[in-house]
Structure formats: structure tokens, C-alpha cells
Amino acid sequence: MNNTWLLYMAFAAVLVFVGLYCLLSMRNLIKLFIGIEVISKGVSLALVATGFAKKNILVAQALAVTFIVIEVSVVATALAIIINTYRHTKSLDIRKLAKLKG
């Protein structure tokens, strides 16, 4: 496959890495969710770039539209959970949520 695809995938990988770093090192609940958003950007970039490289751009767009719809639902649910957590603990710190130990 051509070099353009590799270029886009390289940048998508960087975005996923940045998102994962955010998840591993940040403490604010909303910041953690921004990490997930960055990962989603990386994945949708990879999706559309693959469609572009395979000359299948319309199918890739249809898939990406569905992916964004799923992302919106997940964001809505997660933010609802965060707001409810804030109402309980009055704080957005993940360390305050350490009651359960996995």
C-alpha cells in the first residue's frame, strides 16, 4: 500500500499514544475523558485514511459517521456519570474515587 496511508496511520498512532498517556497520568475525571476523545480522533483519522487509500472513501465515510454517533452516546453517558459523581463527592479527583480496589 502506498506511503500516504502509512503517513496518516503514523499520525493516527501518535494521537492514540497521546490519548493513552492522558488516561495513564491525569487525575481530573474530565481530563481523563478528554483522553478518550483524543483516542477517538486517532481512530477516525485511521478509518477515513484507510478508505482514502483503498479508493473506498464513501464506505469509510459511512463507517466513520456511525462511529461518531456511537462516540456521542458514550460521551453523553460518561458526562452524566461524571456530573453525578460530582454531586456525591463534590470533587473531580479520581483519587477520591478509590473506595473500590479492583
Q: What part of residues 40-99 is at the interface with other proteins (CB under 8 A)?
A: 40-86, 88-93, 97, 99
Q: In the complex, what is the shortest distance from the CB of residue 14 to other proteins, in angstroms, rounded to a whole number?
A: 5
Q: In the complex, what is the shortest distance from the CB of residue 88 to other proteins, in angstroms, rounded to a whole number?
A: 5
Burial 54-76 (b: 16+ CB within 10 A, else e): eeeeeebeebbeeeeeebeeeee
Q: In the complex, what is the shortest distance from the CB of residue 15 to other proteins, in angstroms, rounded to a whole number?
A: 6
**What's the gap between Cα 23 and its chain centre?**
10
Q: What is the DSSP letter of 92?
A: -
How many residues bind other proteins (CB under 8 A)? The answer is: 92
Strand segments (E) across the chain: none
Looking at the DSSP assignment, which residues form a beta bridge with residue 93?
28
Q: What is the DSSP letter of 52?
A: H
Q: In the complex, what is the shortest distance from the CB of residue 68 to other proteins, in angstroms, rounded to a whole number?
A: 5
